[in-house]
Structure 1
Amino acid sequence: MAELMKIARPYAEAVFALGKEEQSLAAWSEQLANLALITSDSAMQAMLEDPSRSVAEVISVYAAVMGDGLTNQGKQLLTVMADNKRLVALAEVAEQFEALKAADEKRVRAIVVSAFDVTEEQKNKLSAALNAKFDADVEINYEVDASLIGGIKIKVGDWALDGSALAQLNKLGAAIAQ
């Protein structure tokens, strides 16, 4: 996984820079998502692993499936990645591209896990607080996990807050055990 992230980063950054320069981030987003979807297909995976397949054959399959959705620049990306035997990293390229795009647009995704359903008033307060903390438009996905007993857990990128009753009980148990 870490290896794929390292492989994908320069491609994602290059595509992002190109998309930003040409104001085509949305088009690249859609194209990369479709290319990643094609790459995830088991038949395509087998083709990518087959050493007897040429770069031209592999690119022609992507082109046939994508049709008009594959731009010349998209085809160039595929060619470069295929020449370097990196097509397996396409899904990670798409994911990293989306992260770069979200950061550029000042959008952040958060996951809030609570012991109970969150009310609209609580959602509004939490949204305002997270928007202010991250100086961005925070998109929040809410989940319910009764095992937390009470409180909430929030995860935004690498930042996390565990204010659940379960976490507090675990800390208390660890303190008593010492």
Structure 2
Amino acid sequence: MSRSIVGERYAIALFKAAQEQGVLISVHENVIELQKALSTNEEFSELMSMPQLSLQKKRSLIAAVLPGAEQLLLNALYVMLDANRMDELNDVLEDFHQLANGASGVAEATVYATRELTSQEQTAISSAFARKVGKQSLHITTIIEPQLIGGIRLQIGNRIFDSSISNKLNNLQRTLIG
């Protein structure tokens, strides 16, 4: 969870409401879309913090950014806007994302590899390592790191599984040198 207590409370409230209304999956999809939009467009946050814009214009902007979004998510954003808490939006979205993933048995994983992984390789990694961390599946993000030489390094939360050739060479060097 985030370091923001306020953000965490909004996320928990949205999560519980989405579960109760049976729209958790669609709200989670909307949250992921909003996170992508915010990461590529910093103007949205700036507009939300501008005192010159009326609340009604800010509401219209939120609705324009999320066309077809679940009304529950829009209402949560409107409540945050009315409470002048839009500066907590990134924390709320990230906390909600973690809660939704936890409820569905999914963990976020980062795979460091020398090349882009195929979908079959991602599926194999997900099924092999999800059990090790007590999850049903992994949502994998791949980062290309040529210095690994070969193999992969996988990070799930604070756990790291390193089967890269560079790691094996370093271990061998430590063993030989003592």
Q: Shared fold (TM-score greater than 0.5)? A: yes
Over aligned residue pairs, what C-alpha RMSD do you find? 3.9
1:35 offset after TM fit, Å?
4.6
1:157 offset after TM fit, Å?
1.8
**What is the aligned partner in structure 2 of residue 32 from structure 1?**
31
2-side partners of 1:136 and 1:111: how far apart? 15
SS at match of 1:69: coil
1-side partners of 2:83 and 2:166: how far apart? 48
**What is the aligned partner in structure 2 of residue 158 from structure 1?**
158
2-side partners of 1:41 and 1:86: how far apart? 19
Whichever residue aligns with residue 69 of structure 2, its letter is G
2-side partners of 1:40 and 1:117: how far apart? 22
- Give ranges in structure 2 of 5+ residues lacking alignment: none
1:93 and 2:97 correspond: no
Greater C-alpha radius of gyration: 1
When residues 12 and 167 of structure 1 are mapped into structure 2, their CA distance, relative to the original with a 3 A threshold, is same
When residues 86 and 39 of structure 1 are mapped into structure 2, their CA distance, relative to the original with a 3 A threshold, is farther
Whichever residue aligns with residue 98 of structure 1, its letter is H
2-side partners of 1:115 and 1:170: how far apart? 17
2-side partners of 1:174 and 1:113: how far apart? 23
Kept in 2, the 8 Å contact 1:114–1:145? The answer is yes
When residues 81 and 168 of structure 1 are mapped into structure 2, their CA distance, relative to the original with a 3 A threshold, is same
Name the stretch that deviates more: 12-21 or 61-70. 61-70
Matches within 5 A, 1:157-176: 157-167=157-167
Q: What TM-score do the two structures reach when normalised by structure 2?
A: 0.70
Matches within 5 A, 1:17-166: 17-36=16-35, 37=37, 41-69=41-69, 71=71, 73-115=72-114, 126-139=125-138, 140-142=140-142, 144-166=144-166
Name the stretch that deviates more: 33-42 or 129-138. 33-42
Kept in 1, the 8 Å contact 2:2–2:95? The answer is no
2-side partners of 1:162 and 1:79: how far apart? 44
When residues 43 and 141 of structure 1 are mapped into structure 2, their CA distance, relative to the original with a 3 A threshold, is closer
1:102 offset after TM fit, Å?
1.3
- Give ranges in structure 1 of 5+ residues lacking alignment: none
1:23 offset after TM fit, Å?
1.0
2-side partners of 1:177 and 1:55: how far apart? 66
